[in-house]
Structure 1
């Protein structure tokens, strides 16, 4: 079974949308600042975790605040 990837333009648009989504979480209005373990850091990690889960990965946030995801198989 062969899977055809979307065009580079579609992949780029998806990446840009994902970055725009995560950029909403900031410690400073009008800037992109996320201090380690701040509320905005946690919000961004939750956003990434959710995106991983939508993509079919098993995801979690570890004790260091890093997001990890795994696709079984």
Structure 2
């Protein structure tokens, strides 16, 4: 099962934590623009940055990953 970083999950975790994109950006040493791009799926963070993002929003790294498989309808 392939998994990838999910911008939607990052956005949801950030909002649940009551954080702004600017606060998350400061916590990981990147720009708010980078956080917004990751949340929209326009870019993917490296594994080290993804781990920092998880820490910043208070979740585990697997919580920010989504399954690549598509649901198959028969």
Superposition TM-score, scaled by structure 1 size = 0.29
Q: Normalized per residue, which structure has more helix? A: 2
Superposition TM-score, scaled by structure 2 size = 0.29
Q: Relative contact order (alpha carbons < 8 A, sep ≥ 6): 1 or 2 greater?
A: 2
